[in-house]
A and B are shown apart, each in its own frame.
Chain A
Amino acid sequence: MDDEFLRELSEPVRPEFAQALYAHLQAIPERRARRWLGPATAIVLVVMSIIACATPQIRIPILKAIETPLARVVGEPAMVIFRTSLNTEQRVPLEVKYMDIEQVREEIAFPLRLPAWLPAGLEPTQIALITPPQGKIGLLSMEWTTGDATPLRLDVWWPAGGIRMQVEETVEINGQPASFVREPGASGLISLTWVQQEEGAAYILTANPEYISKDALLQIAATMR
Protein backbone atom coordinates (compact mmCIF):
# COMPACT_ATOMS: atom_id res chain seq x y z
CA MET A 1 0.00 0.00 0.00
CA ASP A 2 1.55 3.28 -1.11
CA ASP A 3 1.11 5.62 1.79
CA GLU A 4 4.24 7.73 1.54
CA PHE A 5 2.23 10.82 0.63
CA LEU A 6 0.73 10.72 4.12
CA ARG A 7 4.15 11.33 5.61
CA GLU A 8 4.45 14.62 3.76
CA LEU A 9 3.29 16.58 6.78
CA SER A 10 6.08 15.26 8.97
CA GLU A 11 8.84 17.69 9.56
CA PRO A 12 12.05 17.64 11.55
CA VAL A 13 12.14 19.18 14.96
CA ARG A 14 13.98 22.50 15.03
CA PRO A 15 17.36 21.83 16.68
CA GLU A 16 17.03 25.08 18.65
CA PHE A 17 13.77 23.84 20.13
CA ALA A 18 15.16 20.37 20.87
CA GLN A 19 18.18 21.80 22.63
CA ALA A 20 16.21 24.40 24.56
CA LEU A 21 13.69 21.84 25.74
CA TYR A 22 16.39 19.41 26.76
CA ALA A 23 18.14 22.11 28.74
CA HIS A 24 14.82 23.08 30.31
CA LEU A 25 14.15 19.48 31.33
CA GLN A 26 17.58 19.09 32.83
CA ALA A 27 16.79 21.99 35.12
CA ILE A 28 13.64 20.37 36.44
CA PRO A 29 14.20 18.22 39.52
CA GLU A 30 13.09 14.64 39.16
CA ARG A 31 10.58 13.28 41.62
CA ARG A 32 12.91 10.67 43.00
CA ALA A 33 11.54 7.45 44.35
CA ARG A 34 12.27 6.91 48.02
CA ARG A 35 12.57 3.65 49.92
CA TRP A 36 9.40 4.29 51.83
CA LEU A 37 7.51 5.21 48.71
CA GLY A 38 6.64 1.65 47.71
CA PRO A 39 5.02 0.58 51.00
CA ALA A 40 3.49 4.00 51.50
CA THR A 41 1.99 3.95 48.04
CA ALA A 42 0.67 0.46 48.65
CA ILE A 43 -1.10 1.64 51.79
CA VAL A 44 -2.49 4.62 49.97
CA LEU A 45 -3.70 2.42 47.16
CA VAL A 46 -5.52 0.12 49.58
CA VAL A 47 -7.32 3.11 51.04
CA MET A 48 -7.98 4.48 47.60
CA SER A 49 -9.29 1.11 46.47
CA ILE A 50 -11.96 1.28 49.17
CA ILE A 51 -12.90 4.78 48.18
CA ALA A 52 -12.60 3.86 44.57
CA CYS A 53 -15.23 1.19 44.86
CA ALA A 54 -17.59 3.78 46.26
CA THR A 55 -17.08 6.88 44.20
CA PRO A 56 -16.94 6.78 40.42
CA GLN A 57 -15.31 10.19 40.13
CA ILE A 58 -12.30 8.82 41.98
CA ARG A 59 -12.48 5.28 40.74
CA ILE A 60 -12.19 6.15 37.07
CA PRO A 61 -8.86 7.95 37.30
CA ILE A 62 -7.51 5.08 39.39
CA LEU A 63 -8.54 2.57 36.81
CA LYS A 64 -6.97 4.67 34.14
CA ALA A 65 -3.85 4.84 36.25
CA ILE A 66 -3.80 1.09 36.63
CA GLU A 67 -3.98 0.75 32.88
CA THR A 68 -0.89 2.87 32.52
CA PRO A 69 2.60 2.35 33.89
CA LEU A 70 1.75 4.81 36.68
CA ALA A 71 0.74 1.91 38.87
CA ARG A 72 4.24 0.50 38.76
CA VAL A 73 5.16 2.72 41.67
CA VAL A 74 3.55 0.04 43.83
CA GLY A 75 6.75 -1.94 43.71
CA GLU A 76 8.93 -4.31 41.82
CA PRO A 77 7.42 -6.36 40.40
CA ALA A 78 4.41 -4.10 40.06
CA MET A 79 1.33 -5.15 41.98
CA VAL A 80 -2.31 -4.19 42.12
CA ILE A 81 -3.94 -4.38 45.50
CA PHE A 82 -7.49 -5.68 45.73
CA ARG A 83 -9.59 -5.38 48.80
CA THR A 84 -11.31 -8.75 49.01
CA SER A 85 -13.37 -7.98 52.07
CA LEU A 86 -13.65 -5.13 54.51
CA ASN A 87 -10.64 -6.45 56.42
CA THR A 88 -8.48 -8.27 53.92
CA GLU A 89 -6.60 -7.50 50.78
CA GLN A 90 -4.82 -9.38 48.08
CA ARG A 91 -1.99 -8.34 45.85
CA VAL A 92 -2.10 -9.24 42.22
CA PRO A 93 0.71 -8.76 39.73
CA LEU A 94 -0.05 -5.85 37.49
CA GLU A 95 -0.66 -7.33 34.11
CA VAL A 96 -3.29 -5.67 31.97
CA LYS A 97 -4.54 -7.97 29.28
CA TYR A 98 -6.54 -6.65 26.38
CA MET A 99 -8.92 -9.19 24.97
CA ASP A 100 -12.28 -9.72 23.39
CA ILE A 101 -15.38 -10.87 25.21
CA GLU A 102 -14.97 -14.55 24.44
CA GLN A 103 -11.44 -14.55 25.81
CA VAL A 104 -12.66 -12.78 28.93
CA ARG A 105 -15.37 -15.35 29.50
CA GLU A 106 -12.74 -18.10 29.37
CA GLU A 107 -10.50 -16.20 31.76
CA ILE A 108 -12.90 -15.47 34.60
CA ALA A 109 -14.65 -17.89 36.90
CA PHE A 110 -18.19 -16.53 36.75
CA PRO A 111 -20.69 -15.70 33.99
CA LEU A 112 -20.10 -12.13 32.98
CA ARG A 113 -23.21 -10.02 32.56
CA LEU A 114 -23.21 -7.70 29.59
CA PRO A 115 -25.92 -5.40 28.23
CA ALA A 116 -28.33 -7.09 25.87
CA TRP A 117 -29.51 -3.67 24.73
CA LEU A 118 -27.58 -0.49 23.99
CA PRO A 119 -28.51 2.78 22.33
CA ALA A 120 -27.84 2.74 18.59
CA GLY A 121 -24.38 3.65 17.37
CA LEU A 122 -22.35 2.27 20.26
CA GLU A 123 -19.58 -0.18 19.51
CA PRO A 124 -17.60 -2.10 22.11
CA THR A 125 -13.88 -1.59 22.35
CA GLN A 126 -11.41 -4.09 23.69
CA ILE A 127 -11.70 -5.17 27.30
CA ALA A 128 -8.90 -4.48 29.74
CA LEU A 129 -8.57 -7.24 32.28
CA ILE A 130 -6.40 -7.51 35.36
CA THR A 131 -6.62 -10.90 36.96
CA PRO A 132 -4.28 -13.73 37.89
CA PRO A 133 -5.02 -17.28 36.68
CA GLN A 134 -8.25 -18.86 37.98
CA GLY A 135 -9.93 -15.48 37.86
CA LYS A 136 -11.02 -15.50 41.50
CA ILE A 137 -10.02 -11.91 41.90
CA GLY A 138 -9.73 -9.15 39.39
CA LEU A 139 -11.23 -6.26 37.57
CA LEU A 140 -12.17 -5.60 34.03
CA SER A 141 -12.96 -2.45 32.22
CA MET A 142 -14.86 -2.13 28.97
CA GLU A 143 -15.96 0.88 26.98
CA TRP A 144 -18.38 1.56 24.18
CA THR A 145 -17.56 4.19 21.64
CA THR A 146 -19.48 6.17 19.05
CA GLY A 147 -16.28 6.64 17.11
CA ASP A 148 -15.58 10.15 18.34
CA ALA A 149 -16.69 9.77 21.95
CA THR A 150 -16.76 7.09 24.61
CA PRO A 151 -20.04 7.62 26.43
CA LEU A 152 -20.35 4.31 28.28
CA ARG A 153 -18.02 2.33 30.47
CA LEU A 154 -18.47 -0.85 32.45
CA ASP A 155 -16.16 -1.83 35.27
CA VAL A 156 -16.51 -5.14 37.06
CA TRP A 157 -14.64 -5.87 40.29
CA TRP A 158 -14.56 -9.19 42.05
CA PRO A 159 -14.86 -10.28 44.74
CA ALA A 160 -17.23 -7.54 45.84
CA GLY A 161 -16.68 -8.10 49.56
CA GLY A 162 -14.76 -4.89 50.07
CA ILE A 163 -17.17 -2.60 48.35
CA ARG A 164 -18.85 0.23 50.18
CA MET A 165 -21.38 1.86 47.98
CA GLN A 166 -21.95 5.57 48.00
CA VAL A 167 -25.69 6.05 48.11
CA GLU A 168 -27.26 9.06 46.45
CA GLU A 169 -30.36 7.37 45.13
CA THR A 170 -31.21 3.72 45.48
CA VAL A 171 -32.72 1.94 42.51
CA GLU A 172 -33.20 -1.72 41.72
CA ILE A 173 -31.25 -3.58 39.05
CA ASN A 174 -32.15 -7.21 38.39
CA GLY A 175 -33.48 -7.64 41.89
CA GLN A 176 -30.39 -6.09 43.51
CA PRO A 177 -30.22 -2.70 45.21
CA ALA A 178 -28.12 -0.31 43.16
CA SER A 179 -26.73 3.12 43.83
CA PHE A 180 -27.29 5.85 41.27
CA VAL A 181 -24.77 8.70 41.49
CA ARG A 182 -24.37 11.84 39.43
CA GLU A 183 -20.84 13.16 39.60
CA PRO A 184 -20.69 16.77 40.72
CA GLY A 185 -18.88 19.30 38.58
CA ALA A 186 -18.60 19.88 34.89
CA SER A 187 -18.43 16.28 33.71
CA GLY A 188 -21.68 15.29 35.41
CA LEU A 189 -21.04 11.61 34.70
CA ILE A 190 -23.76 9.31 35.93
CA SER A 191 -23.19 5.84 37.29
CA LEU A 192 -24.91 2.81 38.68
CA THR A 193 -23.17 0.51 41.13
CA TRP A 194 -24.54 -2.79 42.29
CA VAL A 195 -23.36 -6.18 43.47
CA GLN A 196 -24.54 -9.34 41.79
CA GLN A 197 -24.73 -11.55 44.85
CA GLU A 198 -24.78 -14.83 42.92
CA GLU A 199 -21.28 -14.34 41.57
CA GLY A 200 -20.07 -11.82 44.13
CA ALA A 201 -19.04 -9.24 41.58
CA ALA A 202 -19.55 -5.50 41.70
CA TYR A 203 -20.78 -3.88 38.51
CA ILE A 204 -20.23 -0.20 37.88
CA LEU A 205 -21.80 1.30 34.80
CA THR A 206 -20.74 4.86 34.04
CA ALA A 207 -22.18 7.07 31.31
CA ASN A 208 -21.86 10.53 29.87
CA PRO A 209 -25.37 11.99 30.18
CA GLU A 210 -24.89 14.05 27.03
CA TYR A 211 -25.19 10.78 25.17
CA ILE A 212 -26.97 8.47 27.59
CA SER A 213 -29.75 9.61 29.90
CA LYS A 214 -30.41 8.24 33.33
CA ASP A 215 -33.42 6.32 31.99
CA ALA A 216 -31.29 4.83 29.22
CA LEU A 217 -28.60 3.87 31.72
CA LEU A 218 -31.17 2.12 33.88
CA GLN A 219 -32.51 0.38 30.80
CA ILE A 220 -29.03 -0.80 29.83
CA ALA A 221 -28.37 -2.11 33.32
CA ALA A 222 -31.71 -3.92 33.40
CA THR A 223 -30.69 -5.96 30.36
CA MET A 224 -27.51 -7.20 32.01
CA ARG A 225 -28.86 -10.60 32.99
Chain B
Amino acid sequence: MKLLTKDQNDDSPATPNEVVWAAVYAEYLPRVYNYFHYWVNDPMAAEDLTATVFEKAWRNRQRYQANLGAFSTWLFTLARNVARDYFRQPQREAPWEESPEHTTQDPIEEVLARRETHARLRVLLNRLAPREQELITLKYGAGLTNREIARLTRYSETNVGTILHRVVEQLRKQWEDHDGR
Protein backbone atom coordinates (compact mmCIF):
# COMPACT_ATOMS: atom_id res chain seq x y z
CA MET B 1 0.00 0.00 0.00
CA LYS B 2 1.80 3.06 -1.24
CA LEU B 3 0.71 5.41 1.45
CA LEU B 4 2.29 3.17 4.04
CA THR B 5 5.75 3.15 2.59
CA LYS B 6 8.18 5.76 3.75
CA ASP B 7 8.57 8.92 1.79
CA GLN B 8 11.08 8.13 -0.97
CA ASN B 9 12.92 11.35 -0.17
CA ASP B 10 13.28 10.28 3.43
CA ASP B 11 16.53 8.33 3.80
CA SER B 12 16.18 7.61 7.49
CA PRO B 13 15.57 3.94 8.29
CA ALA B 14 12.10 2.96 9.36
CA THR B 15 11.87 1.94 13.00
CA PRO B 16 10.25 -1.39 13.89
CA ASN B 17 7.38 0.54 15.38
CA GLU B 18 6.78 2.40 12.14
CA VAL B 19 6.89 -0.81 10.16
CA VAL B 20 4.47 -2.57 12.49
CA TRP B 21 2.07 0.31 12.43
CA ALA B 22 2.23 0.64 8.70
CA ALA B 23 1.26 -3.01 8.45
CA VAL B 24 -1.44 -2.62 11.04
CA TYR B 25 -2.88 0.35 9.22
CA ALA B 26 -2.87 -1.46 5.90
CA GLU B 27 -4.55 -4.53 7.29
CA TYR B 28 -7.08 -3.01 9.63
CA LEU B 29 -8.19 0.21 7.98
CA PRO B 30 -10.49 -1.55 5.47
CA ARG B 31 -11.77 -3.90 8.13
CA VAL B 32 -12.64 -1.19 10.62
CA TYR B 33 -14.12 0.93 7.84
CA ASN B 34 -16.34 -1.90 6.65
CA TYR B 35 -17.33 -2.75 10.20
CA PHE B 36 -18.84 0.73 10.42
CA HIS B 37 -20.06 0.70 6.85
CA TYR B 38 -22.11 -2.40 7.58
CA TRP B 39 -23.56 -0.72 10.63
CA VAL B 40 -24.29 2.78 9.47
CA ASN B 41 -24.56 2.44 5.68
CA ASP B 42 -23.26 5.95 5.32
CA PRO B 43 -19.76 6.15 3.86
CA MET B 44 -19.02 9.56 5.32
CA ALA B 45 -20.14 8.53 8.81
CA ALA B 46 -18.19 5.28 8.43
CA GLU B 47 -15.07 7.27 7.59
CA ASP B 48 -15.56 9.57 10.58
CA LEU B 49 -16.02 6.66 12.94
CA THR B 50 -13.04 4.82 11.47
CA ALA B 51 -10.89 7.92 11.93
CA THR B 52 -11.99 8.13 15.57
CA VAL B 53 -10.94 4.54 16.22
CA PHE B 54 -7.57 4.90 14.54
CA GLU B 55 -6.85 8.14 16.31
CA LYS B 56 -7.45 6.45 19.66
CA ALA B 57 -5.35 3.48 18.62
CA TRP B 58 -2.59 5.62 17.22
CA ARG B 59 -2.24 7.70 20.36
CA ASN B 60 -1.65 4.53 22.34
CA ARG B 61 0.23 2.46 19.80
CA GLN B 62 3.38 2.15 21.89
CA ARG B 63 1.54 -0.09 24.27
CA TYR B 64 0.60 -2.69 21.74
CA GLN B 65 3.69 -3.32 19.69
CA ALA B 66 4.77 -6.18 21.93
CA ASN B 67 1.65 -8.22 21.45
CA LEU B 68 -0.07 -7.78 18.16
CA GLY B 69 -1.79 -11.13 18.58
CA ALA B 70 -4.44 -9.44 20.66
CA PHE B 71 -4.49 -6.35 18.51
CA SER B 72 -7.69 -7.11 16.63
CA THR B 73 -9.54 -7.69 19.90
CA TRP B 74 -8.33 -4.39 21.27
CA LEU B 75 -8.97 -2.44 18.10
CA PHE B 76 -12.49 -3.78 17.63
CA THR B 77 -13.26 -3.23 21.29
CA LEU B 78 -12.50 0.42 20.55
CA ALA B 79 -14.63 0.22 17.41
CA ARG B 80 -17.60 -1.30 19.24
CA ASN B 81 -17.43 1.42 21.88
CA VAL B 82 -17.28 4.09 19.21
CA ALA B 83 -20.28 2.51 17.48
CA ARG B 84 -22.23 2.41 20.74
CA ASP B 85 -21.48 6.08 21.39
CA TYR B 86 -22.58 6.91 17.87
CA PHE B 87 -25.93 5.17 18.15
CA ARG B 88 -26.49 6.49 21.65
CA GLN B 89 -26.78 9.98 20.22
CA PRO B 90 -30.48 10.75 19.87
CA GLN B 91 -30.36 11.97 16.28
CA ARG B 92 -29.00 8.66 15.05
CA GLU B 93 -31.29 6.41 13.11
CA ALA B 94 -31.24 2.69 13.53
CA PRO B 95 -28.57 0.92 11.51
CA TRP B 96 -29.18 -0.66 8.12
CA GLU B 97 -31.25 2.23 6.81
CA GLU B 98 -30.91 3.22 3.20
CA SER B 99 -28.37 5.93 2.41
CA PRO B 100 -26.37 7.22 -0.53
CA GLU B 101 -23.13 5.61 -1.67
CA HIS B 102 -19.89 7.09 -2.78
CA THR B 103 -20.03 8.72 -6.15
CA THR B 104 -18.12 6.60 -8.62
CA GLN B 105 -17.10 6.61 -12.24
CA ASP B 106 -18.86 3.28 -12.85
CA PRO B 107 -21.58 3.00 -15.50
CA ILE B 108 -24.97 3.99 -14.20
CA GLU B 109 -26.37 0.48 -14.80
CA GLU B 110 -23.71 -1.03 -12.54
CA VAL B 111 -24.29 1.56 -9.88
CA LEU B 112 -28.03 0.94 -9.92
CA ALA B 113 -27.60 -2.82 -9.84
CA ARG B 114 -25.22 -2.53 -6.90
CA ARG B 115 -27.59 -0.24 -5.08
CA GLU B 116 -30.41 -2.71 -5.55
CA THR B 117 -28.25 -5.57 -4.27
CA HIS B 118 -27.20 -3.54 -1.26
CA ALA B 119 -30.76 -2.51 -0.51
CA ARG B 120 -31.98 -6.10 -0.69
CA LEU B 121 -29.23 -7.27 1.60
CA ARG B 122 -29.83 -4.52 4.09
CA VAL B 123 -33.53 -5.35 4.23
CA LEU B 124 -32.64 -8.92 5.13
CA LEU B 125 -30.07 -7.88 7.70
CA ASN B 126 -32.45 -5.37 9.22
CA ARG B 127 -34.80 -8.21 10.15
CA LEU B 128 -32.18 -9.86 12.33
CA ALA B 129 -31.99 -9.52 16.09
CA PRO B 130 -29.33 -7.02 17.26
CA ARG B 131 -27.01 -9.77 18.44
CA GLU B 132 -27.21 -11.50 15.06
CA GLN B 133 -26.67 -8.22 13.24
CA GLU B 134 -23.53 -7.58 15.22
CA LEU B 135 -22.12 -11.04 14.61
CA ILE B 136 -22.75 -10.67 10.88
CA THR B 137 -21.12 -7.25 10.94
CA LEU B 138 -18.06 -8.54 12.76
CA LYS B 139 -17.77 -11.55 10.49
CA TYR B 140 -18.45 -10.03 7.08
CA GLY B 141 -17.80 -6.34 7.65
CA ALA B 142 -14.75 -6.60 9.88
CA GLY B 143 -13.62 -9.95 8.55
CA LEU B 144 -12.98 -11.41 11.99
CA THR B 145 -12.68 -15.12 12.65
CA ASN B 146 -15.15 -16.86 14.93
CA ARG B 147 -12.45 -17.05 17.58
CA GLU B 148 -11.78 -13.32 17.38
CA ILE B 149 -15.51 -12.62 17.56
CA ALA B 150 -15.81 -14.88 20.59
CA ARG B 151 -13.04 -13.02 22.38
CA LEU B 152 -14.65 -9.73 21.58
CA THR B 153 -18.24 -10.56 22.44
CA ARG B 154 -17.50 -13.10 25.17
CA TYR B 155 -19.73 -15.69 23.59
CA SER B 156 -18.07 -19.04 23.26
CA GLU B 157 -16.49 -19.79 19.91
CA THR B 158 -18.94 -22.66 19.48
CA ASN B 159 -21.83 -20.35 20.20
CA VAL B 160 -20.58 -17.82 17.65
CA GLY B 161 -20.19 -20.52 15.03
CA THR B 162 -23.62 -21.97 15.71
CA ILE B 163 -25.40 -18.62 15.58
CA LEU B 164 -23.57 -17.53 12.44
CA HIS B 165 -24.26 -20.81 10.69
CA ARG B 166 -27.96 -20.60 11.46
CA VAL B 167 -28.24 -16.94 10.50
CA VAL B 168 -26.28 -17.30 7.28
CA GLU B 169 -28.38 -20.28 6.24
CA GLN B 170 -31.51 -18.32 6.94
CA LEU B 171 -30.25 -15.30 5.00
CA ARG B 172 -29.04 -17.40 2.11
CA LYS B 173 -32.43 -19.05 1.76
CA GLN B 174 -34.16 -15.66 1.76
CA TRP B 175 -31.61 -14.36 -0.72
CA GLU B 176 -32.12 -17.31 -3.07
CA ASP B 177 -35.89 -17.23 -2.69
CA HIS B 178 -35.82 -13.68 -3.94
CA ASP B 179 -33.54 -14.63 -6.84
CA GLY B 180 -35.86 -17.50 -7.77
CA ARG B 181 -38.91 -15.28 -8.21
**Residues of A with Cβ closer than 8 Å to B?**
1-3, 5-15, 17-19, 21-22, 24-25, 28, 30-33, 68-70, 72-73, 76, 98, 100, 125-126, 128, 143, 145, 147-148
Contact = CB atoms under 8 A, between A and B. Distances in A.
Q: By CB atoms of chain A within 10 A, which of B33, B37, B66 has the most?
A: B33
Nearest to B69: A69
B9 interface: no
B34 A125 contact: no
B85 to A, nearest CB: 13
A78 to B, nearest CB: 8
B74 A69 contact: yes
Contacts of A32: 62
Given A9-B38, A30-B58, 5 more contacts: A10-B38, A13-B29, A68-B77, A69-B64, A147-B131
Classify chain B's interface size. 35 or more
B59 A28 contact: yes
A76 B66 contact: yes
B168 A6 contact: yes
A31 B51 contact: no
Interface in B71-110: 71, 73-74, 77, 101-102
A125 B63 contact: no
Interface in B111-155: 117-118, 121-122, 129-131, 136, 139-141, 150-151, 153-155
B102 A11 contact: yes
Given A28-B55, A31-B62, A9 B129 contact: no
A203 to B, nearest CB: 19
Contacts of B155: 125-126
A202 B60 CA distance: 33
Contacts, number: 124
A186 to B, nearest CB: 10
B47 to A, nearest CB: 5
Contacts of B171: 5-6
Given A31-B59, A126-B155, A128-B154, A6 B4 contact: no
A13 B33 CA distance: 7
7 contacts: A3-B168, A6-B168, A9-B34, A13-B33, A14-B47, A21-B51, A69-B73
Given A6-B168, A147-B131, A15 B34 contact: no
Contacts of A143: 154
Given A14-B47, A31-B62, A147-B131, A126 B55 contact: no
Contacts of A100: 156
A98 B33 contact: no
A124 to B, nearest CB: 10
